[in-house]
Amino acid sequence: MILLLCAGPMNGFAGSKPLELKWTELGAIIQGQRVELALTDGTKVKGEAVVVREDSIVLDRTRKGSAAIAPSSITLLKLERTRGHWGRNLGTTIGLLTGISVGGYVAGTQTNSARAGIPLFLVIGSVVTLAGYRTGRALDTRVTSVVIAPE
């Protein structure tokens, strides 16, 4: 089950044709969403799209403040959307059960005392549960690539 859960996100990375939108159509779709912009100079800028103006897009970048970026400097826009929470729930549940099982087995067979076994059990259980959650979160996230079409 863990292998299937880990293999699931790979399908989302398969190359698909980017959505082609005009600058005037962009605002309704990306406003308030997390986006990643690939710029003409090769840099990438991530943030929440606050507003799309006629001459720029304003991003709220966490801890870095806001940035206004002109449409001529954008080569590709990636829109991240989270749909539901079934993947996080499933990943956390499978991670927790696997972490308890593997952590208990390793702690019971590889240590001779509770002083060493309990921390080992807690670390393994926590790491595997966190890995299950993050894998499930990746299953819930959908990325849409957008290319800006000429007006």
Q: Taking the domains of the chain in order of start, what are their residue ranges?
A: 9-82+143-149, 86-139
Ordered alpha helix ranges (H), 43-146: 86-110, 114-140
Spatial distance between the Cα atoms of 151 and 143, rounded to a whole number of angstroms:
24
pTM of the model: 0.63
Angle, alpha carbons 85-90-96 (nearest 5°): 125
Nearest Cα to Cα of residue 70 among 94, 28, 39: 39
pLDDT grade, residue 17 (50/70/90)? confident
pLDDT grade, residue 20 (50/70/90)? confident
Q: Say if residue 11's pLDDT is above 50.
A: no
The domain defined by 9-82+143-149 folds into SH3 type barrels. (2.30.30)
Interval 87-144: pLDDT, tens: 999 999 999 999 999 999 999 999 999 899 999 999 999 999 999 999 999 888 888 8
Nearest Cα to Cα of residue 8 among 133, 136, 120, 125: 136
Nearest Cα to Cα of residue 3 among 101, 131, 89, 141: 131
Cβ-in-10-Å burial (0-12, 13-18, 19+) of 69 comes to middle
